[in-house]
Amino acid sequence: MKKLKSPGELAALQEEIRTGRDPKKPCITICAGTGCLAYGTQKIIDCFRQEIEKQQLEARVEFRTSGCHGFCERGPMVVIHPQKIFYQRIKAEDVPEIITRTVLAGEVIDRLSYVDPATKQKIVYEHDVPFYKRQTRYVLGMNGEIDPASIDDYLAIGGYSGLAKALSGMKPEAVIEEVKKANLRGRGGGGFPTGWKWDATRKAQGEPKYVICNADEGDPGAYMDRSLLEGNPHLVLEGMIIGAYAIGSSQGYIYVRNEYPLAVHNVTVALDKAREAGLLGDNILGSGFSFDITINRGGGAFVCGESSALFASIEGRSGEPRAKYVHATDQGLYNKPTTLNNVETWGNVPLIINRGADWYSSIGTANSKGTKIFSLVGKINNTGLVEVPMGITLREIIYEIGGGIPKGRKFKAVQTGGPSGGCIPEQHLDIPVDFDELTKIGSMMGSGGMIVMDDRNCMVDVAKYFLKFLEEESCGKCTPCREGIVQMRIILDRICEGQGKEEDIDTLEWMGQAIKDGSLCALGGSAPNPVLTTIKYFRHEYEAHIKDKKCPAGVCKSLITYAVDAEKCTGCHACARVCPTQAATGEKKQAHVIDTAKCIKCGACFEACKFDAVVVK
Amino acid sequence: MQAKIHEIISRYGSDKGFLVPILQDVQKELNYLPEDALVMVSTFLEIPVSRIFEVATFYKAFSLTPRGKHLLSLCLGTACHVRGAPLISGHIERALGISAGETSPDLEFTFETVNCLGACALGPVIVVDGEYHGQLTIAKTNTILRDLGRKVPSDEEA
């Protein structure tokens, strides 16, 4: 590609790409995000390529591998343009038929269409799928339009126009002012106003100044940053370049989990293409402004998502946080002024510059503007990534977008904010989701993980799960976090084993508060949250474990027994076949029994029984 | 080994700031981080070996012991946890006779649990030698283990 030397040349190239494309030409877009690839999408991609070649359709049909579309539950999926016909759970065998009947003849293949479980109606077009219909996909929606490896695709939808606008008509201070006016807040969890961070870094003494993209997405159950980075890397780069211009930075870093190989690859390709086009490197678009970006792969430590630990990791040290009486905006990476923003935050910047702060701040609530991407996972019918305006209720997300709880079971709680967040019960499902409201009820926005749990999930077990996670991930530098979390976990272990004491709940509460007050960084400072919120909203479950020695959800092994309901048992022998300890026995066609002395409570019989005859007591 | 390590380090312009990616590449090449390799990295980068040891033990991605021929990474992210991943974990531990994080003495299997693979729609999910297997049940896990040539507990009687 020719190096672009001015914003005018960029606009001309965008126009050239657009006019060179026929909007009526059939285009097959297949989701090739990590989630869909895990379903085996690569085989389907290969089939499409072979079939297009076989039928000699290269000139008539476009084929595009895009990033994550968001509806992970129904992958592998394709969208056929220009009609936007949506097919889901497709297999390699379906490929020839899709090409012949749909792409060439315009027919809809009924069996591949999505059926709305609520109305039992077939849904032909992507935009009519309820999962998408209720969303506002300004940031994530672009994923389906572009091949992340193609800068042309991004330019065709107006990519880098925000950068051109900033460089040609706006002083750096004006860019900052716009971001401040839009009231963009950090999407990584903290919710700190982005414009203020930029302003402080710009005004700080010291050179060089750094901008960093935090893609160390460590919260289990959250993968929106990965999907954005791997699906639309240029959007994130554009945001970073605009930010660097506003701050006066010449060097940027993307700190990304090494567990995200596709994101690393796609960003590497995007960086090369952006450099080649003159959008990155020396004298960007002939403006005199120079800036470049380096990728750093993380080493697999949750704490490195914390800013000061992340700096230490980029500097080649172990990722231990430090006390933050000096802000990163003054002394961050290599003790120089640094702005660290999360992937999604950077991804919002081009929108704000392009469409203006007034437009942006018209979306959302009083103090939380724009949209937020959540990863809706766990016991939910429609697992996937959802982008919604701030202020939507949890109930709308879970029931209208998520399609409710599988197998008709009862909702128990939704966990937001990752290991630092909290579990929200049914009574709070109607609060508007924004930074402040979630904090008020003891949870937090966090990076956007939203894990739904049903009546078969034990809240004490979930609290223990998070503490165990944080115990392993605590860097060990400060005592309240390193020792406190372990002690809390030991108490929870005891409760789950039926050895809980009356005073344990009180002890957990005051210890939790002490750890929150005494820890150095946000990891320890928020670690007790899952325990404290589950005690607040599900105290009766703790009490059932401690006083009655029962696990109401049937999860904690020491407090449950497996038994066979003789009336339901058909004597099919399935339980006996899978039992690893020969605890489940019986004659064929006779009711079976489980010998509790031999049973190791592995759950194999429960899973194997097709007649619900194995019960947990 | 020395030549390989030298080549990896020169890829990063001998920059000390790239210690973590350098160790990642060394591990990828050698399957784990042997002591000799750490000493070599220390010499080339002029960083005390104690510092390198600190970094190599801090980050989860590094292993100071040899890893097995087959790598099984079971996701224990929250979504997988609430969908029953702990039961699968216990089952694999019993079948392989090792705990999560360990390698079998014959160096055939390494079983590890990971925080989140971000493939939550497939949960519980496991990656076996780079291949994803989703919506795991104990029965499906048994099939995977048998395909790897390992008897599973309930096979004993059969």
Q: What is the pLDDT of residues A137-181, one digit of tens each?
A: 999 999 999 999 999 999 999 999 999 999 998 999 999 999 999
**Alpha carbons A608 and B140: distance in angstroms, whole number:** 11
Q: Give the pLDDT of residue B123.
A: 87
Q: Which residues of B touch A315 (CB under 8 A)?
A: 17
In angstroms, the separation between the Cα of residue A379 and the nearest Cα of chain B is: 7
Are residues B17 and A316, on separate chains, in Cβ contact within 8 Å? yes
Enumerate residues 384 to 423 of chain A having a beta carbon within 8 A of any beta carbon in chain B.
384, 415
Cβ burial, residue A392 (10 Å; 0-12/13-18/19+): buried
Q: What letter would DSSP give residue A2?
A: P
Q: What is the pLDDT of residues A36-60, one digit of tens each?
A: 999 999 999 999 999 999 999 999 9
**Alpha carbons B89 and B102: distance in angstroms, whole number:** 13
Measuring CA to CA, how many Å separate A471 from each of A103, A486, A528? Answer: 53, 6, 11
Confidence of residue A80 (pLDDT cuts 50, 70, 90): very high
**Alpha carbons A604 and A357: distance in angstroms, whole number:** 56
Q: Give the pLDDT of residue A496.
A: 96
Q: Give the pLDDT of residue A301.
A: 87
Q: Give the pLDDT of residue B158.
A: 38
User: Chunked in runs of 10, what are the mean pLDDT values of chain B (158 residues)?
Assistant: 88 84 92 94 93 92 92 92 91 93 93 89 91 91 91 58
Q: Give the pLDDT of residue B157.
A: 43
Confidence of residue A118 (pLDDT cuts 50, 70, 90): confident
Structural domains of chain A in order of their starting residue, each with its CATH number: 25-81+85-124 (3.40.30.10), 151-360 (3.40.50.11540), 371-454 (3.10.20.600), 459-546 (1.20.1440.230), 561-616 (3.30.70.20)
**Alpha carbons A534 and A552: distance in angstroms, whole number:** 14
Within 13 A of A461's CA, how many CA atoms are on the CB side?
24
Q: Give the pLDDT of residue A83.
A: 94
ipTM here: 0.89
Q: Which residues of B touch A386 (CB under 8 A)?
A: none
In angstroms, the separation between the Cα of residue A543 and the nearest Cα of chain B is: 21
**Alpha carbons A56 and B149: distance in angstroms, whole number:** 44
Measuring CA to CA, how many Å separate A438 from each of A271, A365, A422, A464? Answer: 36, 13, 9, 22
- Tell me the helices (H) and strands (E) count for chain A, helix number first: 24, 19
Q: Give the pLDDT of residue B155.
A: 57
Confidence of residue A133 (pLDDT cuts 50, 70, 90): very high
Q: What is the pLDDT of residues A475-515, one digit of tens each?
A: 899 999 999 999 999 999 999 999 999 999 999 999 999 99
Check if the beta carbon of residue A247 is closer than 8 Å to that of residue A239. no
Enumerate residues 63 to 102 of chain B having a beta carbon within 8 A of any beta carbon in chain A.
76-79, 81-84, 87, 90-91, 94
Torsions phi, psi for A537 (to 5 deg): -100, -20
In angstroms, the separation between the Cα of residue A354 and the nearest Cα of chain B is: 31
Are residues A39 and B81, on separate chains, in Cβ contact within 8 Å? no
Enumerate residues 99 to 158 of chain A having a beta carbon within 8 A of any beta carbon in chain B.
none
The overall average pLDDT reported for chain B is: 89
- pTM of the shown model: 0.93
Structural domains of chain B in order of their starting residue, each with its CATH number: 2-58 (no CATH), 70-155 (3.40.30.10)
Mean pLDDT along residues A518-522: 90
Confidence of residue A225 (pLDDT cuts 50, 70, 90): very high
The residue among A212, A303, A318 with the most chain B CBs within 10 A of its CB, best to mutate, is A318
Are residues B139 and A578, on separate chains, in Cβ contact within 8 Å? yes
Q: Give the pLDDT of residue B115.
A: 86
**Alpha carbons A493 and A487: distance in angstroms, whole number:** 10
Mean pLDDT along residues A322-331: 89
